[in-house]
Amino acid sequence: MSKLDEKVGKYLDDLKSKVGESNPDVDLLRKIAESMGPSIYNADAETVSSSSESELETVKKNFVMKKLGITDESKVNEAVNQVLEKYGKSNRNKYRVVVYYLLTKHFKKESIYK
C-alpha cells in the first residue's frame, strides 16, 4: 500500500466516523489529496487549526476563493463555519484534505477535480 493510499484511508475514516458521511466520494478525496502534493506528509501542513484566524484565512483565500472561484465573502465564511461545525469544533485534528473535500462538495465544485 502506498503512502498516499494510507493517507486517503485516514481521511476516509475521518469522513465516516467524525463527519458521518456513509458513502464518501473516494475518487474526489484522492484527487484533492494528490493536488496537495507533499504537504499532506507534513504533520503541521496536513491539519487545519480552526482556532487560528490566520489558518482559516488561508483556507478561505487560497482554497475557496482561488481554487474553487467563490468570491462572495459572506458565502465563503458561512461555508467554512458549516464545514468546521460538521467536522466537529472540538475535534483538534481536522485534516486539510477532509476540510477541502467538504468545501468542494458544499459548493458543488467537484468538476474542478475531474
- Residues 11-28 pLDDT 10s: 999 999 999 999 999 999
- Residues 59-96 pLDDT 10s: 999 999 999 999 999 999 999 999 999 999 888 789 99
Q: What torsion, rounded to 10 degrees, do the Cα atoms 71, 74, 79, 84 define?
A: 120
Assigned CATH topology for domain 3-112? Recoverin; domain 1 (1.10.238)
Q: Which residues pair with 47 in a beta bridge?
A: 95
What is the domain partition of the chain in residue ranges? Answer: 3-112
**68: DSSP letter:** S
Cβ neighbours of residue 86 closer than 8 Å, sequence gap 6 or more: 19, 102
